[in-house]
Structure 1
Amino acid sequence: MYKGIVLKVTTEYAVVIAEDNSYCKIAFKEGLIPGQKIYFFEEDILISVAKYEREEGFKNFRKKAVALSVMAACIVFFILFNGVPGLESKGSSYFAVVSVDINPSVELRLNEGCYVIGVETLNQDGKKVAGDYLLGLTVDKAVSQIVKKAEEMNYLNSESDTVLMATALNSVETGRIEELMTQLTNIQLPEEYGYLIIPMERDEIEKAKENKLSLGKYALLDLAGESFQAYEVRNMKVKDLVTSKTIKEKLQEKQEKNQIKNKTKKVEDKKVEDEKVEDEKVEDKKAKDKNTAKNNPAEKVTLQGPYLENKQDNGKQDSIRQFITEKEPPGQGKNTNKGKPNNEELKIKQ
């Protein structure tokens, strides 16, 4: 009997990493999900001997029977490896590291194919959003899952929140760092948050560990200079760090030099654009009102008796009546001929 963790599940098989760090392709069973810890037996392991016999013929099969026996016993790596192309053993060295910080802090270790072969949670919040279920996923899917979990658990809930990502190659092959940066920048993530992506050097991986910080938070500590101590950065939220004066200025400098990536908040940009359009509408209206007032000075309104009785604004109606009464010529009283308005129209300024 074997014990392992499910990395990938299809309708026909599942890929499992066993306790000895070998990878197995086992028969599909209902209920299997990535990240699940399971027990499985020798008969669950898929070794396609029948298919091989049909393709190679019985004669060739007999010649290679010994080799196949060894492969079946040892669960040979290159046959079972097909489920996750390029996936390495969990215990082997990693090609790159990607840290993801919100308040949860998580580090992902990747192989050359950018599949996750190791997960490390750096605080209690990190344990809530990350775990073995990320093993075997591509880096873009793993980051998406972390952000999704963080959003569901309200670690991300406002436009001021920022997701900090940092990456470094654990290799002398430095040329691929830009490729990895581009891959992280192109991940489809919720648009209402900010995403800061910082490239790091290989030696900074160890420096981050020495300070008990994620790679991303170590990057911010380095930018802060003497403004913050490691223990302060360790316990601070990313949005508080990136908005602090010193770090914010340093980040802006690096961004201007194109040394870091800053995914624009599309929602925030849209909000600014909407406000700009609204301001333009207000200014246009003011300009039109000004032109109207200039071209049309206060008009004299001709009012007759019946209009006064029907006017809805009682305040203005009383004022008009008072004005008419005061302006009546001496000796002229109210018109006693009901239904026959005075032939002289009264013109007043409204």
Structure 2
Amino acid sequence: MNKGIIMEIKRNYAIALSDEGVMDKIASKQNMRVGQKIFYFDDDIIKTTTNNISRYNSFMKAIGSIAALFLIVFTFFHTIKSETAYAVVSLDINPSIQIEADSNLKIIKVEGVNTDGKNIDFTDMKDMTLDDGIKKIKEKLIEKKYLETNKDVLVGIAFVKNGDNSNYEENLKVAIQSTFSTEDVTLTYVKGDKEAVDEAKTKGISLGRYEASLKVDDETKKKIDVAPVKEITASIKDKDNVTQWDAKDEKDVKLTPVTKPSSDAITEKPSTDKPVINAPSDNKDTNTDANKGSEGNSKPEKNNDVLELDPEVPAQTDKDGTSTPPKKDDVINIEPNNGGVIQNNQTSGKIDESPNTTQLEPSKNQQSVIDKVVK
């Protein structure tokens, strides 16, 4: 017994494809339909010598081959499409290096363009992010000692597809600048497009050198493939669509100037070295009434820089004409910061304004003589 699928139904027979891949012409039966799985016996097979079955078998094999080929081609082109570059970035130091990256900032390919670039192995950088890949390129350049004397880098950027690529470009520049900021280099950026990428490949130079060749003088243009990068960047730095970034500028510390206040705004605080001078109080209880006024309210805080004196007390005269010296309440207490007390005993209610005059209180014998003279 054979097992197969109905491939075609005619009026008097049907074509079945067996599990062995053989087309058999079998007797048609009621309710047969195309695509139906059936079991049939050898007796159901119609023996024929015609070439129809052979031609049908050949046709089906051809269809199968075409389907397989189409699947292979589709897979191939799908892979190629996913590997298509979205952006092209070139770095010219002395080696010329060109990077192709996809829309996700992943590296598709890195290759050297000139002789020095081709002597560096970049095969280990595929599928890296642009940030990691550029760091890896810097490590290779340092290893080869290219950055010891070459401090100028020409950077070419181009996008294969038109559109708003500002975010992509900004991320790319941040990756380049953060990587080379430690090497005190000057980056000079030029921009191109897909046609510029193709033209650069045709001429065998990097994207950056090709774009620079459109801006330099004729003499430099003739040797654009071997001209020193410093010479190229110096000649295009002031051209349109050329921008520069200097790592040294990023390291400069910007100090905020300190504005000195005007003389009017300066308030001089009283020196703490000045003594505190308090005038004597009529109330002997200095602990409880020193800070109270006549009505019991608190007195305002006194200015320590002002010497306050009680009103002058005139000398008193007894009935017999004897002059009485002022009371001890007229004594001025001067309290310096160290807590000491200096007493100045006055002989009259007036203060002698002469700075060189010293007043002495008469002794008892002198006072008795004065009293007799007065009498």
Pairwise TM-score range, normalised by the shorter structure: 0.3 to 0.5
TM-score by length of 1: 0.45
Larger Rg, first or second structure (1 or 2): 2
Task: Compare the two structures and name the one with the higher helix fraction.
Answer: 1
Higher relative contact order (CA 8 A, sep 6+): 1
TM-score by length of 2: 0.42
